[in-house]
């Protein structure tokens, strides 16, 4: 089966491919908010129907949360069996007033000389997962078949901690186990260099509620005498970092390796523009550990961030209240061999030590995953790298990633398969932020990249 | 004019007096929330109509905020001229789900052997201001006149920083100036000892917004490298107190006097039950400066409290966001000669010192008032104390108050009049909290107390 007509077919089919993507983006499949449960279900149905329409044996698999989509397509005798992973759920859209248009009324726009697809999920991850789906469609349209045996596995809980993922993978291990898992949820390096991500940080999410008095108190009647849970919370959270930006939780750095010199040298060769990286979002000063570069912080150092905080009176005007409770959401990015379960307990112990004896704190875990390092000695990595280099005309790079894609670790740990992460996101895609977009270039050349990768790996 | 028939009339009129109060409590006059502006206006109209119905020359006076109510009643030749102050606005009602009933559908209930009036504003301050209004009504009904010349001055912005109060008092100084101002917005000591409050803490309210990146960021793509405004805010707020509970703002204690030994001795004689005070709200440990009792903290020490905090993702589930901004509302209770304007600048300087150079902080002032100390050598104080002792059968006390009633200082500073603070609130009235109530005993004996005080001062 030859590649050239597939690439031609992809080019010719772009208008229709864009219409399909816009249709999928119109479904507000926000997985973390129970109000959007029917929409998540609808997005799964959409994927099943689309995959079935091109000949996949596709089905929606219920879970206690949002459904999985699993689809299979046979390949030639002796061809490798590849699993492609993506997620059809999206992040919440608040603050809504900062969006230039309805996040779920997507459109193709001109933006500073580039053509972009604007809408929630355009880059993370609907636009990305449709790159491999469209590549399959073109192969089948041209050759009546795919050059490899393919399994598609789509999740609907990636943006909400993937609570159903591990049990589902365990229960369907035989069905999902292939020669290689391919994950399309990452980006290019510096928005121009095609990249295979080989290091991923882990994630630990925690929510805490500090409780003091058994009701809201008047700060005139009780202020200065009674405990204020916001003060206690602020103090406990402020204690999580020292003056040099290091995290103070006992044992936190025990399993954090220093970067090997060779990798450090390769990363330095990437000529990452630190000033531009921060300048693009209106900042200027590296905010992490003193003496480490932003790239090192992002790819190889663990972090502790407060992602949300609330308590007391937050409306218009003023209320002199000492609230009964205060809340925060805290997350950790993990690296190396850091153990999320061990660190969860260490974090909770650290916070508890800051709670007065007559107050209390309650914790709620929001998912966790260890960090992952990919096996670049698997031959598929070099084949994919060659295919990417060919499509983009720039040598493709192995890079790290500050984000957490827990499933990469699960493929290794639960199914015993290697995983390869390739995606076409750009730094200004504004994923998780208002006005998310995906470049038309990412979408178009992304589809073409998969066609080339399929050809090389199946060869 | 004799007192006894007035007291009888008060007793006989209680059912009707209660109906009037419930009617007033049904008006949701929340002054801090612009959505309730028409209701504030309606409460002012209600007061004007009620005062006019008993012969007061009453009117509603517009301000840039909520209207004032001013009413006059002539007195006998040579009788003193007294001004009675109260406020018809109320606190917000959130969290609404903790109320046992609609806060603006008040009712008279049996509660643990006591009869209480339940609803927002029952104690703060509608129930209290109606005690003197009902006392006037009884005097006029029995004698066809009042024993002193009376001015009633009601405010609608007390719970939202009183922005219109100073200009209004300055503009209407000649009309409002009397021999003595009487403020009914305070409580009894330990819920059983009638009290005249002679020390009030001042108040300074501040709102701050910390801004970092120019948009929300993904904590995977930026966490550990980019500034997190919640972390900056938590750190800045946590720095406001040291390990001993002292406030760390430069110069904060410069104008804070130590309690005179005599007053300290008198307060110790009040046999305040510190354990019960905290135990009643589910707490056990004094949370103020180390080595100071809760009573001393409440009445004679300044405080700094965080009354509200918010930033990032606060909905259900989790969002790995680094928000663009984070917010807090902070208030200070002031004592002695602490200057709110000077401390506002010192607070802002303190916070600014914690903001990285590439981030910013914006402040919004929410009103301020210095502390007040009342002149107990004015003979009206001892007459009122005797009247209270007579009505309640317990020696009335001079006490301090942890709250801030800025108008007491304004009467002194702007109109050159002494002010006397008498009220009948109890510690468990839950003012500013869900399920606010006012004891029927407070209401009934409060009305009778004013009749007695009027008789003694007019004598």
* Tens-digit pLDDT string for chain A (459 aa): 799 999 999 999 999 999 999 999 999 999 999 999 999 999 999 999 999 999 999 999 999 999 999 999 999 999 999 999 999 999 999 889 999 999 999 999 999 999 999 999 999 999 999 999 999 999 999 999 999 999 999 999 999 989 999 999 999 999 999 999 999 999 999 888 999 998 889 999 999 999 999 999 988 889 888 999 999 999 999 999 999 999 999 999 999 988 878 778 778 878 788 888 899 999 999 999 998 888 888 888 999 999 999 999 999 988 889 999 999 999 999 998 899 999 999 999 999 999 999 999 999 999 888 888 888 789 999 999 999 999 999 989 889 888 877 788 899 889 999 999 999 999 899 999 999 999 999 999 999 999 999 999 998
Contact residues, chain A, for B367 at CB < 8 Å: 318
Q: Does B369 touch chain A (CB under 8 A)?
A: no
Which residue, among A148, A167, A144, has the nearest Cα to A157 in the 3D structure? Answer: A167
- Determine the pLDDT at residue A272: 83
| Domain made up of A4-200+371-458: CATH architecture | 3-Layer(aba) Sandwich (3.40)
Report the alpha-carbon distance of residue A188 to residue B361 in Å, rounded. Answer: 34
CATH class of B202-256+302-369: alpha beta
pLDDT above 80: residue B271: no
- pLDDT at B255 (0 to 100): 94
For every residue of B158-195, DSSP letters joined together read: GGGT-TTHHHHHHHTHHHH--SEEEE---B-BTTTB-E
Can you read off the two tokens belonging to residue B137?
């009504």
The pLDDT of residue A233: 98
Task: Number of helices (H) and strands (E) in chain A: give both, helices first.
Answer: 15, 18
Least confident of A59-68, A331-340, B260-269, B436-445: B260-269
Q: If you ran DSSP here, which 8-state letter would residue A96 be given?
A: G
Q: Where are the domains of chain B?
A: 4-200+372-458, 202-256+302-369
Q: Estimate to the nearest angstrom the gap between the alpha carbon of B301 and the chain centroid.
A: 17
Question: In this predicted structure, what is the pLDDT of residue B372?
Answer: 87
- Token representation of residue B379: 């003979």
pLDDT band at B427 (very low <50, low <70, confident <90, very high): confident
3-class DSSP state of A29: coil
Does the structure show a pLDDT above 80 at B1?
A: no
Q: How far is CA B27 from CA B125, B130, B269, in A?
A: 13, 14, 41
Which residue in A366, A327, A305 sits closest to A32, CA to CA? A366
Size of interface A-B (CB pairs under 8 A): 363
* Touching A: B residues 286-345, CB under 8 Å: 286-289, 294-295, 297-298, 301-303, 305-323, 326-329, 331, 333
Q: What is the pLDDT of residues B57-73, one digit of tens each?
A: 999 999 999 999 999 99
Contacts 24+ apart (CB under 8 A), B338-342: B338/B202, B338/B252, B338/B254, B338/B255, B338/B256, B338/B302, B338/B370, B338/B371, B339/B255, B339/B370, B340/B202, B340/B203, B340/B204, B340/B368, B340/B369, B340/B370, B341/B368, B342/B251
Mean pLDDT of B233-253: 97
Check B285 against A216: CB less than 8 A apart.
no
Report the complex ipTM.
Answer: 0.74
Q: What is the mean pLDDT of residues B272-283?
A: 90
CA B343 to chain centre: 21
Q: Tokens in use for B210?
A: 């910390």
Q: Which CATH number fits domain A205-256+302-369: 3.30.70.360, 3.40.50.720, 3.30.420.40, 3.40.30.10?
A: 3.30.70.360
Instruction: Say whether residue A365 is in contact with chain B using an 8 A CB cutoff.
Output: no
To the nearest whole Å, the CA of B179 is away from the closest chain A CA by 29
Ranking A174-183, A354-363, B280-289, B405-414 by mean pLDDT, the lowest is B405-414
CA dist B458 to A429, B77, B122, B323, Å?
A: 77, 11, 29, 62
- A320 closest CB neighbour out of B31, B307, B322: B307
- Is the pLDDT at B148 greater than 90? The verdict is yes
> Which of A224, A287, A323 faces B298 most closely, judged by CB atoms?
A224
Question: Confidence class of residue B77 from pLDDT cuts 50, 70 and 90?
Answer: very high
Q: How far is C-alpha B45 from the chain's CA centre?
A: 22
Phi, psi of A279 (to 5 degrees): -60, -35
DSSP H or E segment with residue A375: none
**CATH number for the segment(s) B4-200+372-458:** 3.40.630.10
The radius of gyration of chain A from alpha carbons, rounded to an integer in Å, stands at: 23
CA distances from A153 to A66, A68, A169, A418 (A): 13, 7, 10, 15
Q: Mind telling me how many Å the CA of B143 is from chain A's nearest CA?
A: 39
Whether pTM exceeds 0.80: no
pLDDT band (50, 70, 90) for residue B324: very high
d(CA B135, CA B140) in angstroms, rounded, equals 9
pLDDT value at residue B230: 98
pLDDT at residue B254, as a whole number: 96
Averaged over B439-457, what is the pLDDT? 98
């Amino acid at each position: 089966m030859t590649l050239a007509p597939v690439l031609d077919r992809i080019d010719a089919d772009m208008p229709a491919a864009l219409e399909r993507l816009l249709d999928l983006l119109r479904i507000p499949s926000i997985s973390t908010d129970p109000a959007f449960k029917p929409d998540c279900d609808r997005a799964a149905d959409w994927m099943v129907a689309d995959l079935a329409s091109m000949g996949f044996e596709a089905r929606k698999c219920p879970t206690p949360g949002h459904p999985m989509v699993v689809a299979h397509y046979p390949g030639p005798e002796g061809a490798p069996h590849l699993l492609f992973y993506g997620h059809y759920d999206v992040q919440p859209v608040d603050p809504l007033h900062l969006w230039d248009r309805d996040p779920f009324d997507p459109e193709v726009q001109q933006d500073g000389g580039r053509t972009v697809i604007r809408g929630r999920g355009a880059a993370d991850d609907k636009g990305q997962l449709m790159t491999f789906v469209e590549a399959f469609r073109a192969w089948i349209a041209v050759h009546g078949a795919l050059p490899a045996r393919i399994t598609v596995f789509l999740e609907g809980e990636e943006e909400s901690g993937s609570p159903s993922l591990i049990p589902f993978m365990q229960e369907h291990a035989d069905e999902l186990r292939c020669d290689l898992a391919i994950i399309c949820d990452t980006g290019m390096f510096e928005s121009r260099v095609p990249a295979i991500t080989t290091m991923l940080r882990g994630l630990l999410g925690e929510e805490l509620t500090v409780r003091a008095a058994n009701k809201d108190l008047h700060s005139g009647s009780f202020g200065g005498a009674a405990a204020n849970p916001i003060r206690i919370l602020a103090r406990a959270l402020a204690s999580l970092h020292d003056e040099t930006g290091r995290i103070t939780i006992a044992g936190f750095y025990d399993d954090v390796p220093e970067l090997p010199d060779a990798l450090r040298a390769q990363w330095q060769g990437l000529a990452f523009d630190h000033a531009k990286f921060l300048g693009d979002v209106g900042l200027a000063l590296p905010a992490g550990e003193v003496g480490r570069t932003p790239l090192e912080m992002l790819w190889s150092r663990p972090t502790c961030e407060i992602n949300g905080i609330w308590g007391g009176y937050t409306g218009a005007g003023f209320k002199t209240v000492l609230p009964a409770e205060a809340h925060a959401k805290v997350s950790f990015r993990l690296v190396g061999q850091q153990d999320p379960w061990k660190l969860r307990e260490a974090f909770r112990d650290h916070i508890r030590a800051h709670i007065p004896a007559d107050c209390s704190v309650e914790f709620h875990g929001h998912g966790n995953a260890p960090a992952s390092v990919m096996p670049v000695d698997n031959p598929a990595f070099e084949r994919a790298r060659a295919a990417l280099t060919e499509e983009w005309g720039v040598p493709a790079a192995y890079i790290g990633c500050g984000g957490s894609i827990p499933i990469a670790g699960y493929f290794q740990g639960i199914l015993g398969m290697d995983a390869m992460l390739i995606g076409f996101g750009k730094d200004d895609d504004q994923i998780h932020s208002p006005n998310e977009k995906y470049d038309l270039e990412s979408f178009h050349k992304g589809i073409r990249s998969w066609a080339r990768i399929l050809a090389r790996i199946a060869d």
